Structure 1
Amino acid sequence: MTDHRPLSVWTATVRLPGASASSWPHVFVVNDGDERADARYLAKFAHGWQRRAVPVDAERSALGLVHTATGETVVELDEMAVPLAISETGLRVLSRIERHWPDVVPDAAELRVLGNEPVDIRRLLLARLADEARPPAELFHLLPWHLVGQLAENLTNALEEAETTDTTPVIQLRHWFRPVGSRFTASLEQLDEGVREHDRGLIRVAATSLCARLGELDTARLPVMTRQALAALTDTLARDNRFLGHAAARAAARLRHGEDRSSRHGVRMATHLVDAADSSSHVRRESTEFERPPFTLRLTVSATGRVTLSARTLLASDEEARIARDYGVVLLPVRITDAQSSNRYWLTLQASGTYLGGTISLPLPTGDFVEADVDGPPAGIADAGTLDTDEVERSVPAVTAYSALQQWELVARSLPATHPLRDVIERAAQ
């Protein structure tokens, strides 16, 4: 007989051996008194438990478990410590899936049954499948995607028509879509808050994270209509902020086509220079330029043993003020790959005259090639606290201009005095 385990983080004992079938506690004691524990991994549930529907009242049952030897019965709870309701037919489908875990795919009839169960039941099942198995992408279509599509459409309309969403009901996506991965729904809700508050800084931060997270998503887990609504939103975000151009285009391509039909690979150069390269300056070097809208990037290999990567874009007359307001400091993520490693760096971009640009310089790798590409949307000071420590530590010493170093110092000063990244930047800048 297959042992069953909790699907939820919280459980509560509702009947002990010898108690009546209708015996319920006045107050639930979560996880035997340890609310910080995760019931899914408690030793208590390692063996001997079977899935049950535990009666709540004459008409409702809750998702539960019973121990075959002791008779102890528990109900599974949501994050508000409310028993998770389930129907008898839903329980039968869930029990069959658990008995054959993880090598089971619900048929069409079972999917219809699960689709009629409360969303928390569907979310918990998918979360466990995502953690422990490789479920078909179509299973994730059980989630309430109509909410995501409606929110995306609301935001597209608000941004395109410069309308307020103040009178539009707030759509809460909660944690229901976490099993899908990439946490893009949190960015959607943050974007909605920024639009409602008319907060351009918050809109910029949310749009940046949304484009980045959609670019990492397994889009097959989303229904077609939802993908279309999100792709339309990313198009609008790129028109609202052209610095999101490349990241938004990649995200939209993945949503529309299931793959990135823009550039999926960086630009590669050989590290061995031909003899005739740049003889006029007496320093052999070769360069190649490539476009990642709105930026033009130049990768240069030099006989001095350095490889440099620069990015720049022409600024409109009013954009320098917008950059100062929305970004503070523009940090462009790039990836440098060679035969031994692939590392992410952050270019600090400064406005100079009519251009926004910046450069990093690194030792030439020992292999026979070096590859470079943009690795996401540009970030700003408001995002700095979430940057990876190792990425920043190797990026600061790679700057080629004192003004770029000053930009990093500005980033450091924006962080709390106790933030670990502040110390990393200050040490690397010395």
Structure 2
Amino acid sequence: MPRTGGDAHSVHRPLSGWVARLKPDDTPGAPGLLGPINDGDERADARTSARFLTPGWTRTAAEVQQPTGDPVRALALRAPDDSLVVELDDRGAPVEVSATGAELVARFEERWTAPPADTATVERLTGESLELRYFLLHRLDLETATPAALFHCLPWHRVETAARATSALLDEISPPSATFPAPDGPLRHWFTPAATSLAGPLSVLESGLRTRRPGPWFGRETSALLSGLLAADPHRLPPSTRAALAGLALRIGADPVLHHSARLAAARLSAPEPRAGEHLALMARLDSTFVLRAAGGEPDGPMSISLGQERVEAEVTVTRGGRVTVEMEIETGGPEASGSRAGHQRNAAEGPACYPVRLVPAGVASGEEGRAGGTGGTGAAAATGGTGAAGSVRYWMLLDRTGPVLHGRIAVPAPTGGFDVDLDGPPVPLLFLDRVPAAELLASLRANELIGPMRWHELVDVLPPRHPAHAALATYEEELPP
């Protein structure tokens, strides 16, 4: 809901989705008491409520009595009738604010389309409660082009601690807790205004490795973290945080399957210029219209591009028949090397790695296609693959072992006109494609032309019953000729 300075709406609106009316206590001068959340409708979002779109609201703070009886200064709004509503966090507790915090928030609201991001302002914001910082940055990020420096007010030292501890655990430093303690607070959702798919998988990795969590889980988190790092705006992260995460990415990249994506993520974090890491990208620009030009007398052979980065070699071809083929080999050094991710042994139940292949219309940056969305997709999955909001299509190429090499090949319909083939995303174990729509998996089964029904059954039959690959395989078999 972008807002311009010239509209008639209130400048001051809730930062949080939950608010409560402040009711005066019976004792004069005592802190007020909170009414029901959103007047009893907890599913409502106060930020979009018509009540707060009328002019006349002002930003303030209020003394609130907590359930424990202790008073707390909370962020609040004063209505035109002089009544007060208090902003609440996701637990229903008042959002605490310093003595000058309400004035700081008001300053942001009055300059909403061009929020201040000078060093002094960021330092003041750092001194406010974490809940206030989160809600302010979350709404700013939704509604404005937020200056990257503002996100530096978040407690990035927690992320750095978790990243260094995870690197140590992957290197099997013993005992890691002596040198690399756990973060001094949970990562939770606090960092999502700055970057998605970062704090969540990092937190799971750190705690899972520290507690030696059993079962298959590691492959989901490493792929999700690399996706988040590739999609994040490095400028929103302080330099020390970028360095810690770049080091962790390289540790994760000890697994040959993840080596390319990890190396690219580390390069982007280490040199956060707009084109950082571009020389490492596995990206091919192709044009299906050359087929039409060939009919006019131009050469009519296929258009092929060879790509390579250290362990990875790929050949991308578009044919006169309107097909795109992608063939890839990853040098692993043998089953032992590819089965180990740094100091962590891969769980065989995760299944083989599946490499994401994105076909992106020319002129659309791959980052805009939601690489951080991981395996969940960026929109409705069409029958031709996982279709993103800007027209990209994603397929999953199964990597099967041939000696010391992992090999995969897909053949898919070529988009019309110019397009990019993006091979930079991290592979995901088959088990963890459980959030991919069945239609997208069906398109991927069709695309992996070298994999037959028998091999698919070997891989899919052992997956959990609700995995979408079962439905995809059933439909795939129905399509096969008798």
Name the SS of the counterpart of 1:174 in structure 2.
Answer: coil
The counterpart of 1:331, out of the listed 354, 358, 367, is 354
Match of 2:134 among 120, 123, 147: 123
CA deviation digits over 1:405-430, x for unaligned, max 9?
Answer: 7337734762444x656424432343
Is structure 2 residue 13 aligned with structure 1 residue 5? yes
Q: How far is the alpha carbon of 1:389 from its aligned partner?
A: 4.8
**Hey, which of these two has a bigger chunk of helix by percent?**
1
Alignment of 1:182-197 (within 5 A): 182-197=196-211
Label 1:246 to 1:404 Cα distance change in 2 as closer, same or farther (>3 A).
farther
Task: Tell me, in whole angstroms, the C-alpha distance in 1 between the residues paired with 2:404 and 2:476.
Answer: 30
Bigger Cα displacement from structure 2, 261-270 vs 245-254: 261-270
Task: Please give the per-residue CA displacement for 1:68-127, whole angstroms capped at 9, x wherever unaligned.
Answer: 22x321111122222122123121111122123223314443333222111111111111
Question: Does residue 374 in structure 1 map to residue 423 in structure 2?
Answer: yes
The answer to whether the aligner puts 1:233 opposite 2:248 as a matched pair is: yes
| Aligned length, in residue pairs | 418
Which of 67, 73, 80 is the aligned partner of 1:61? 73
In 2, Cα distance between the equivalents of 1:3 and 1:370?
A: 43
Kindly state the Cα deviation for residue 380 of structure 1 after the two structures are TM-superposed.
Answer: 0.8
CA deviation map 1:182-219 (0-9, x unaligned): 23110100111221232474233211111111000001
Q: Which has the higher contact order (CA 8 A, sep 6+)?
A: 2
Q: Give CA-to-partner distance per residue, 1:220-271, whole Å, 9 cap, x none.
A: 00000110010011111112x1211111111111111112243346224566
1:309–1:361 CA contact under 8 A, matched in 2: yes
CA contact (8 A) 2:163 2:206 kept: no
- How has the CA–CA distance of structure 1 residues 362 and 72 changed in structure 2, closer, same or farther, with 3 Å as cutoff? same
Tell me the equivalent position of 1:155: 166
Query: Against the structure 1 CA distance between its residues 363 and 101, is the aligned structure 2 distance closer, same or farther, given a 3 Å change threshold?
Result: closer
CA contact (8 A) 1:384 1:411 kept: no
Q: Which amino acid aligns with 1:11?
A: V
Measure, in 1, the Cα distance between the counterparts of 2:458 and 2:24. 62
Find the counterpart in structure 2 of residue 137 from structure 1: 148
SS in 2 for 1:386: coil
Question: Is 2:449 the partner of 1:400?
Answer: yes
Residue 49 of structure 2: which of 23, 42, 45 is its match? 42
Length-normalised TM-score, structure 1: 0.85
Distance 1:425 1:9, change over 3 A: farther
Specify the alignment match of 1:343 in structure 2.
393
1:319 positional shift: 4.9
1:248 alignment counterpart: 262
Contact 2:286-2:420 within 8 A present in 1 as well: yes
Quote the Cα distance in structure 2 between the aligned partners of 1:364 and 1:106: 45
For 1:290, which of 289, 307, 311 is the aligned residue? 307
* Residues 289-324 of structure 1, C-alpha deviations (whole Å, 9 max, x = no match): 322453321223445554321112344143576677
SS in 2 for 1:346: strand
- Equivalent residue for 1:146? 157
Contact 1:90 1:117 in 2 (8 A): yes
Q: How much has 1:33 moved relative to structure 2?
A: 1.1
Matched with 2:280 is: 263
Q: Residue 238 of structure 2 corresponds to which residue in structure 1?
A: 223
Secondary structure of 1:262's counterpart equals helix
Name which of structure 1's ranges 205-214 and 35-44 shifts more when overlaid on structure 2.
35-44
The answer to whether the 8 Å contact 2:122/2:149 transfers is no
Gaps of 5+ in 2: 1-7, 295-299, 341-345, 364-390
Deviation readout 1:14-33 (Å, 9 max, x if unpaired): 127999663633x6511111
Distance change >3 Å, CA 370–CA 43, structure 1 → 2 = closer
After TM superposition, the score normalised by the length of structure 2 is 0.77
Closer, same or farther: CA 324–79 of 1 in aligned 2, 3 Å? closer
Instruction: Give the deviation of 1:138 after TM superposition.
Output: 0.4
Distance 2:29 2:48 in 1: 27
8 Å Cα contact 2:305/2:315 also seen in 1: yes
Cα gap change, 1:99 to 1:409, in 2 (>3 Å): farther
Q: Judging changes above 3 Å, is the alpha-carbon distance between structure 1 residues 405 and 391 closer, same or farther for their aligned structure 2 residues?
A: farther
1:360 maps to which of 401, 405, 410? 410
Query: Structure 1 residues 37, 342: closer, same or farther in 2, change over 3 A?
Result: closer
> Over aligned residue pairs, what C-alpha RMSD do you find?
3.3
Q: Corresponding residue for 1:309?
A: 326
Name the CA distance, whole Å, in 1 between partners of 2:126 and 2:303: 59
**Partner of 2:191 in structure 1?**
177
Choose the corresponding residue for 1:15, options 18, 23, 32: 23
The 1:416/1:37 distance shift into structure 2, 3 A limit, reads farther
Paired AA for residue 159 in structure 2: V
Aligned counterpart in structure 1 of residue 98 of structure 2, from 87, 91, 94: 87
* Cα displacement (A) at 1:365: 5.4
CA distance in 1, matches of 2:465, 2:101: 50
Q: 2-side partners of 1:15 and 1:404: how far apart?
A: 67
Which piece of structure 1 moves more, 245-254 or 291-300?
291-300
Q: Among residues 227, 231, 234, which one is paired with 1:212 in the alignment?
A: 227
Q: Shift of residue 143 of structure 1? A: 0.6
* CA–CA separation in structure 2 for the residues paired with 1:182 and 1:389: 24
Residues 1:6 and 1:203: Cα distance change in structure 2 (over 3 Å): same
1:318 matched to which residue of 2? Answer: 336
What amino acid maps onto 2:400 in structure 1?
Answer: Q
Corresponding residue of 1:427:
475
Distance 1:121 1:408, change over 3 A: farther
Aligned partner of 2:436 in structure 1 is 387
Contact 2:410–2:449 (CA under 8 A) maintained in structure 1: yes
Percent sequence identity is 32
